[in-house]
Amino acid sequence: MTTDRPLLDGITVLDLASVGPAVRASRWLADWGADVIKVGPVPRDADVHITPPAYAYSAHRGMRRVLLDLKSDGGRSAFLRLTAEADVVIESFRPGVVDRLGIGYEALRAANPGIVLCSTSGFGQTGPRAHWAGHDLNYLAVGGYLHCSGRTADGGPALPGATVADSAGGGLHAVAAICAALTARGTTGEGTHLDVSIADGVLSLMSLAVDEYLANGTEPGPRHGLLTGRYAWYDLYQAADGGWLAVGAIEPRFFANLCRSLDCDRWDRPPVRRRSRRRHAGRLHSGLRRPKP
C-alpha cells in the first residue's frame, strides 16, 4: 500500500509475539507508520542470540526492540509502564498465559484504560479447541481451504505456496480488528480485548464456498467454484513449450477475445444451461491443452 503520509503516525504498539500472524500484523502496522516496540525475552545464558538476517528484515523491520523478563517483578512492572504510554499490545501466547504473567487485559487496562490488546491464537481464547496447538497447514485443513485447493499428481491436496492462514487468516484479520478498535476508541475513549482466531479467519476466506452451500446445497470441493477451476475461462493451462498460462477471462468480452486469439471462435459464447456449460468447459479444456501442430 502506498500513501502520501504514515497513516498510523503517533500510534505505539508493543509486540510480544515471536512468530506467526501476530508478527505479520505488527510488521504491517510498522509499515503504515506505527511505532512498534518488539518486546523479547532476556537470553537465559551469556551467548549472543542473532536473528537470521532474512527473518529479521521480514519480521522486525522498522521496529525498536527491548528485552524484558516478564516472569520477574521488575520486568512486569517495566512492561506495564510501557503499556501506560502505548496504544496497542499484540500477543500470541497460549490462551491464559498473559493472565498468569500478570499482564492480561485487566492488568493492562488498569495501567491504561484506552489500551487495545490483540490476542492471536489458532482457535481463539475460549472453546474446546482453545488449547490446541497448530501451524499454518493445520488451520488450512480445519477451515476447508486444502479440500477446495488444487491437487497433486497423486490426487492429494496441494501445499500452498505461501502461509495463507498466518497471513490472510490471522495477520490481516488482526490488523483490521486493531484499526477498527482504534477507531472505536476515538469515540468512546475505551480500549478493548480482541480475540483473533486463525482457524476462524481461514473459514472466512472460504465464504464463497460456504455461501454457495447455504444457498443451494452444493458441497465445496476441488475445482468446484467459479474461481477454482470449474469453468474453462478461469484456469491454468500448460503450453506446448512446457510453461503455464494463467487464464482469467470471466467477462464475456475477455473470453471472446481469448478464444479468437487462440483460433477457437466456436467456443467464445458459453451456453446458459448448467449441464451445457460443463460440457462446453470440458471441450474448451481439452482444446486449450492440445498443442497446435
Which residues are part of the catalytic machinery?
135, 166
Tell me if residue 5 falls in helix, strand or coil.
coil
Q: Nearest Cα to 200, choosing from 29, 21, 14?
A: 21
- CA atoms within a 13 Å half-sphere pointing along the CA-CB vector of 202: 27
Three-class secondary structure of residue 196 per DSSP: strand
The C-alpha cell that represents 96 in the structure block: 491464559
Residue pair 21/169 in contact (Cβ under 8 Å)? The answer is yes
CB atoms within 10 A of CB 265: 11
Q: Which residue has the cell 526492540?
A: 65
- Amino acid (one-letter) located at 218: T
Terminal-residue alpha carbon distance, the chain: 45
Residues 6+ apart with CB under 8 A from 216: none
